[in-house]
Amino acid sequence: MTATVSKLVWSVSAGGTGARADKYGYSARPDGLGEYHISPVSSRHNVNRHVGYVVHYVNTAGRVGGGLWHQLAATPVNLATAKRICREHWAKLA
């Protein structure tokens, strides 16, 4: 299967319980390659201090070993870096 790796199509959602009011979550589901989720995090629950985004790959397609959820960034990163991490991971799978 060949995939165009240049662009993932992102869906936008509410950021979740731990997110600042103006921060959103993002998800992408490339055909047959699992799912990517970028979620905003705050310094503490219900605190309005945004510290970055966490990046996960969900192995719904069975493409890699080691379980269902894979954290792709060890620490919170900015949104541009989070999307780049997902693109680079996707390129390895495609």
**27-49 tens-digit pLDDT:** 999 887 899 999 888 777 666 77
Residue 1 has pLDDT above 80, yes or no: no
Q: Which residues contact 9 (CB under 8 A, 6 or more apart)?
A: 28
Residue 94 has pLDDT above 80, yes or no: no
In a domain, residue 2? The reply is: no
In a domain, residue 65? The reply is: yes
Report the percent of the chain where pLDDT is more than 90: 36
Report the percent of the chain where pLDDT is more than 70: 81
In a domain, residue 43? The reply is: yes
Residue 89: left (phi > 0), alpha (psi -120 to 50), or beta?
alpha
The Cα 43–Cα 64 span in angstroms is: 31
Task: Give the domain range for residue 37.
Answer: 11-93
Nearest to 59 by CA among 84, 29, 39, 81: 29
- Mean predicted confidence (pLDDT) in 22-26: 82
In a domain, residue 19? The reply is: yes
The Cα 13–Cα 52 span in angstroms is: 16
Please count the structural domains in the chain: 1
Residue 80 has pLDDT above 90, yes or no: yes
Burial of 86 (0-12, 13-18, 19+ CB in 10 A): buried
